[in-house]
A = this chain, B = another copy of it.
Amino acid sequence: MSKITSQSQDFSQWYLDIVKVAELADYSKVKGCMVIKPYGYAIWENIQRELDSRIKAADVKNVYFPLLIPESFLQREKEHVEGFMPECAVVTHGGGKKLTENLVIRPTSETIMYDTFSDWIKSYRDLPLKINQWANIVRWEMRTRPFLRTTEFLWQEGHTAHKDKAGADEEAHRALKMYEDFDRDFLALPVLTGRKSDKEKFAGALYTLSTEALAKDGKAIQAGTSHNLGMTFAESFNINYQDENGALQKVWQTSWGVSTRLIGTLIVVHGDEKGLRLPPKVAPTQVVIVPIYKTDGEERETVLKAARQIASDLKRFRVLIDERDTYTPGFKFTEWEVKGVPLRIEIGPRDLAKNSCILARRDTSEKTSLEISELFTAVPKLLDQIQENMYEQALKFREEMTSEIGTYEDFKKILEEKGGFLVTGWCGKETCEQKIQEETKATIRVIKEENTKCKCVYCGEKSSHKVYFARAY
């Protein structure tokens, strides 16, 4: 197995090593596009299954809209086209002929969907309209990294239309809460949530809400966003409805999404020097059983039989027996540690003689000996503990890496020496935000409080906004 660069030595290279050695993804020959391998895709399938059920529980219906969008659709909304057109892949030829109008591959689906919304929505009875799609997206990125930033990625995008601002506000916050809960409960990811500054909001949105995780290298990572789109697109696409009194009104809209970037987030938040660490709920394999035996003779069959019995007892979990004779147990331990399997059961003839086995936790590296008969009750408890502990570890790390900052000198010092989230005052002016970014590469991740009394860390003016700054992925 290839070696993994140390996190402390070169975090970026460590990341790339994990992606490769844990067999999550490969580079493809198409610039910036990755091949998601079986192990990486299995993580995505688990994310999809769980999140999809939460989306459906909110009475959002899945649909599928075309991949290709007429260029003129993008141009109908000024901010949107300015934000996305430079990133688009453009189809100019189809069926051997030059097209009369260029088509772009969706960089996001607002325009193609909302053109249809104007047909679907006629009356207040049609509202709220809540749809979602799981789809691939293409954005021409200059600097790419598997899962974190790729030219093509997979995501879900929810799109809703409402009668009024209150409806859109509520939905934008519901989606944010759904992501926050999902991140915490399923991915063991503590995330900050809040509004983005106008500079950082989605192109065309009234405001953007975001979930922000903290990577082990002290950089923030945006894990999901939820936008109140206001009436911007309703105006560009003429999405009108007749209200209860027969008057024509424009709808209010939201959109919200998470992507395969969540897999990158799992890696940079939970990974350690040994490799990936996966929270049990999202892990493709929750328990790996490594049988230990001499490959020739009876021992192999006796041990494998016991291993299969254990796997059968634990069948409500995702259990794998590593029966490969061509690798040593030590090699297998390392491989499954790299792949982040939460729990390992080791069983050999000496354990069997005592009706016991060894349990090894990936999160703490603890090893304990246990009677085989206890596994049935111990494993579910341990998996819960691992899930919870991984969340607590990440939360503790974030808390340690969150600093209250008074002066710009401190801001720069802490950012350089420690990183993490810097909580400080901001006057609300884009000029200060811009200067800070130029001078330190830190950006406002989310606004913490909007009605407080403090001073802008840059210009020193009285300010009402406390914000989280960080360098970010």
Contacts and interface: CB of A to CB of B under 8 A. Distances in A.
A9 B88 CA distance: 46
A92 B66 CA distance: 19
Given A28-B112, A28-B116, A138-B67, A62 B90 contact: no
Interface in A76-105: 85-96, 103, 105
Nearest to A68: B30
A140 interface: yes
Interface string A113-150: 00110010000010000010001101010100000000
Contacts of A87: 95
B68 A119 contact: no
Given A70-B29, A89-B68, A94-B88, A35 B116 contact: yes
A415 interface: no
A35 B62 contact: no
A282 B33 CA distance: 35
B63 A41 contact: yes
Given A63-B37, A68-B30, A90 B89 contact: no
B96 A136 contact: no
Nearest to A92: B92
A152 B86 contact: no
Given A30-B69, A61-B38, A64-B35, A140 B92 contact: no
A138 to B, nearest CB: 7
A51 interface: no
A154 interface: yes
A30 B103 contact: yes
A306 interface: no
Contacts of A29: 70, 73, 112, 115
B140 A30 contact: no
B116 A26 contact: yes
A36 B134 CA distance: 12
A65 interface: yes
Nearest to A120: B26
A384 interface: no
A36 B132 CA distance: 12
B88 A89 contact: no
A42 interface: yes
A94 B140 contact: yes
A90 B93 contact: yes
Contact of A33 (B33, B34, B68, B95): B68
Contacts of A151: 94
A36 B65 CA distance: 6
A45 B62 CA distance: 9
A30 B93 CA distance: 14
A341 B112 CA distance: 30
Given A87-B95, A119-B26, A140-B94, A41 B64 contact: yes
A105 B91 contact: yes
Contact of A62 (B42, B69, B88, B92): B42
25 contacts: A26-B116, A30-B69, A30-B70, A35-B65, A35-B66, A36-B63, A36-B64, A36-B65, A38-B63, A41-B63, A67-B136, A68-B89, A68-B138, A86-B95, A88-B95, A89-B103, A90-B91, A90-B94, A91-B92, A91-B105, A92-B93, A94-B140, A105-B105, A125-B326, A135-B136
Interface of A: 26, 28-30, 33-38, 41-42, 44-45, 61-70, 73, 85-96, 103, 105, 112, 115-116, 119, 125, 131, 135-136, 138, 140, 142, 151-152, 154, 326
Given A28-B116, A35-B64, A38-B61, 7 more contacts: A67-B105, A67-B152, A68-B152, A85-B96, A90-B93, A92-B92, A94-B140
